[in-house]
């Protein structure tokens, strides 16, 4: 069998922490900066650097991504620094699965599965989109121009993995190369 035209991998060792707090509150932005060294991203966007980063999930929800090894310290740091704000910090790593798509045609693969416009005009590289993949909820962002990371609930990871494998199979290219 020939190789898929965009590679699919399920990633381990990436922790995810949800912060519920008013992201327009300067004290919250400062506490996140102090805890993670990163700035809260603009609406519907992500700021990612390798396995670490922040994603805008809603006006009052922030996704914090970090390597598994930094998971406990990041949760503790955020909890301590946000103690004076109306905020909630929850480690959701065990509830989620992470997939990585890599390949020049990565936007074409997304376009098969999500109702989001995946053209570069509508979806800049710093975008984070919460949407649905086929039948299940998921979010995605770009690591670089040809690499996308997808997060979904672990309970639907098997469905997601099979769907991604099918959508990247050799012969199913959207445009001939």
Partner 1 sequence: MLTLDCPYCGLAKDETELSYGGEAHLKRHGPGSSAAEMEEYLFTRENPKGLHFERWRCSAGCGKWFHAARCTVTMEVFGTYAAQTFEPPAEIKKAITAKRPGWTWRNFQ
Judged by CB under 8 A, which of 3, 76, 117, 158 binds partner 1? 117
Tell me how many residues contact partner 1 (CB under 8 A): 13
State whether residue 96 is helix, strand or coil.
strand
DSSP state string for 148-160: EEEEEEGGGHHHH
Instruction: Choose, by CB under 8 A, the member of 71, 96, 107, 129 that binds partner 1.
Output: 129
Q: Least distance in Å: CB of 24 to partner 1?
A: 11
Kindly state whether residue 132 participates in binding partner 1, applying the rule CB under 8 A. yes
Sign of CA dihedral 115, 116, 117, 119: negative
Residue closer to partner 1, measured from CB, 4 or 138? 138
- Which strand (E) or helix (H) includes residue 142? strand 136-144
* Among the listed residues 44, 47, 88, 157, the single contact to partner 1 using CB under 8 A: 44
For residues 11 and 104, what is the distance between their CA atoms, to the nearest angstrom? 20
Residues 49-108, interacting with partner 1 (CB under 8 A): 57-59, 61
Instruction: Examine residue 124 and tell whether it contacts partner 1 (CB under 8 A).
Output: no
Q: Measured between alpha carbons, how far apart are the two ends of the chain, in Å?
A: 18
The verdict on 43 binding partner 1 (CB under 8 A) reads yes
130 binds partner 1 (CB under 8 A): yes
Does 9 sit near partner 1 (CB under 8 A)? no
Positive or negative CA dihedral for 131, 14, 85, 42?
Answer: negative
Between 27 and 44, CB nearer to partner 1: 44
How far apart CA 144 and CA 89 sit, in angstroms, is 28
Q: What are the residues binding partner 1 (CB under 8 A)? A: 43-44, 57-59, 61, 115, 117, 129-132, 137
């Amino acid at each position: 069998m020939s190789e898929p035209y965009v590679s699919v991998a399920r990633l381990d060792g990436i922790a995810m922490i949800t912060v519920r707090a008013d992201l327009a509150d300067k004290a919250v932005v400062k506490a996140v900066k102090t805890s993670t060294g990163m700035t809260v991203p603009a609406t519907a966007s992500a700021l990612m650097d390798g396995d670490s980063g922040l994603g805008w999930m809603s006006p009052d929800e922030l996704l914090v991504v970090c390597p598994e090894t930094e998971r406990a310290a990041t949760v503790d740091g955020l909890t301590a620094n946000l103690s004076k704000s109306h905020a909630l910090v929850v480690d959701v790593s065990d509830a989620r699965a992470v997939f990585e798509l890599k390949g020049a045609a990565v936007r074409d693969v997304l376009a098969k599965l999500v109702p989001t416009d995946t053209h570069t005009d509508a979806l800049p590289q710093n975008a984070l989109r919460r949407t649905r993949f086929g039948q299940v909820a998921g979010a995605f962002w770009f690591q670089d121009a040809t690499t996308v990371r997808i997060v979904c609930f672990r309970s639907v990871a098997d469905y997601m993995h099979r769907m991604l494998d099918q959508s990247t199979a050799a012969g199913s290219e959207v445009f001939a190369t």
